[in-house]
Amino acid sequence: MNRDKKPGMETVKIGGITYTVSKEPDLQGKSDEWGHIEYKTGKIVLDDSLPEQLEDQTLIHEITHGILVEAGYGQHEEEEADRIGKILYQVLTDNDFSWLWKGGSNG
């Protein structure tokens, strides 16, 4: 991976839970996945060798899992998170949502 961290994305808050975002070497080789969310430990882990666009899409995919769980859909299917996550990624990347930020801070 050509970058260590995304500024402002060291953590992400989903519902009332703050998740740390980290990268792990060869996650796909170890577990056959590009990323996962750990609900009990409050972590989102991504494979550290993903190209930037795929890493971003995978992060949104894992955030989508967290959103579904927080919304009461703990037994959702992977396909549901995948479909919603891909569209959410497209909406977030193709539109300017800067108007949502009050004072320029996400804290």
Which of the pair, 29 or 53, is modelled with greater confidence? 53
- Is pLDDT at 79 greater than 80 in this prediction? yes
- Is pLDDT at 107 greater than 60 in this prediction? no
Q: What is the pLDDT of residue 3?
A: 47
- Is pLDDT at 105 greater than 60 in this prediction? no
Q: What are the beta bridge partners of residue 45? A: 22, 36
Fill in the DSSP letter of residue 36. Answer: E
Rounded Cα distance between 93 and 20, Å, is 22
Q: What percent of the chain has pLDDT over 70?
A: 88
Residue range 83-98: mean pLDDT, rounded: 95
- Is pLDDT at 1 greater than 80 in this prediction? no
